[in-house]
């Protein structure tokens, strides 16, 4: 028989796994912005973003992610990451990128961030239920 403690531990473990997916993607994304590699320069040109903003955007993304990864500030971090990803959605909408691969990809990332937080943090579950 599964106890409430076992369910809670299992839920937190699954939450950490779900959280790892978007976090790893965001770490990769901010790393290439901070490294300012050629594909970033090319993508920024296509998106109409000044190339000199790559490092600034990477640092902002890093700050949002750090706030998300600290348990006490995870909710604020999720809100900040959601705003950051909303900006990415708008940029892709503005240039007419494909819906499922480009426009909705930040929605998928944000959804996984929130799902991971929901599974890890009982405060979120209490708020929603």
* Per-residue model confidence as pLDDT tens digits over 105-128: 999 999 999 999 999 999 999 998
Asked whether residue 64 is assigned to any structural domain, the reply reads yes
In whole angstroms, give the CA distance from residue 85 to residue 112. 12
pLDDT at 2: 65
Asked whether residue 19 is assigned to any structural domain, the reply reads yes
pTM listed for this prediction:
0.91
The answer to whether the CB of 62 falls within 8 A of the CB of 23 is no
104 burial class (0-12, 13-18, 19+ CB within 10 angstroms)?
Answer: middle
Asked whether residue 69 is assigned to any structural domain, the reply reads yes
Asked whether residue 63 is assigned to any structural domain, the reply reads yes
Nearest CA to 115 among 124, 123, 106? 124
Asked whether residue 103 is assigned to any structural domain, the reply reads no
In whole angstroms, give the CA distance from residue 75 to residue 80. 9
Give the structural domain span for 44: 13-80+112-123
The answer to whether the CB of 88 falls within 8 A of the CB of 94 is no
Asked whether residue 86 is assigned to any structural domain, the reply reads no
Domain count, the chain: 1
Query: Could you tell me the two tokens for 27?
Result: 């770490």
The tens digit of pLDDT for each residue in 14-73 reads 999 999 999 999 999 999 999 999 999 999 999 999 999 999 999 999 999 999 999 999
Give residue for tokens 């590699």.
37
Asked whether residue 71 is assigned to any structural domain, the reply reads yes
Asked whether residue 48 is assigned to any structural domain, the reply reads yes
For residues 15, 21, 25 and 31, what is the CA-based torsion angle, rounded to 10 degrees?
60
Quick one: how far is CA 80 from the chain centroid?
9
């Amino acid at each position: 028989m599964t106890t409430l403690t076992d369910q809670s531990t299992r839920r937190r473990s699954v939450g950490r796994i779900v959280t790892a997916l978007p976090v790893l993607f965001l770490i990769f994304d901010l790393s290439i912005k901070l490294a300012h590699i050629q594909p970033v320069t090319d993508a920024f040109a296509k998106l109409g973003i000044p190339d000199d903003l790559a490092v600034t955007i990477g640092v902002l993304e890093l700050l949002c992610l750090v706030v998300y990864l600290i348990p006490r500030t995870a909710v604020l971090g999720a809100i900040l990451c959601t705003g950051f990803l909303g900006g990415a959605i708008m940029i892709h909408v503005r240039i007419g990128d494909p819906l499922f691969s480009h426009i909705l990809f930040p929605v998928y990332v944000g959804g996984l961030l929130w799902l991971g937080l929901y599974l890890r943090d009982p405060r979120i579950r209490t708020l929603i239920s």
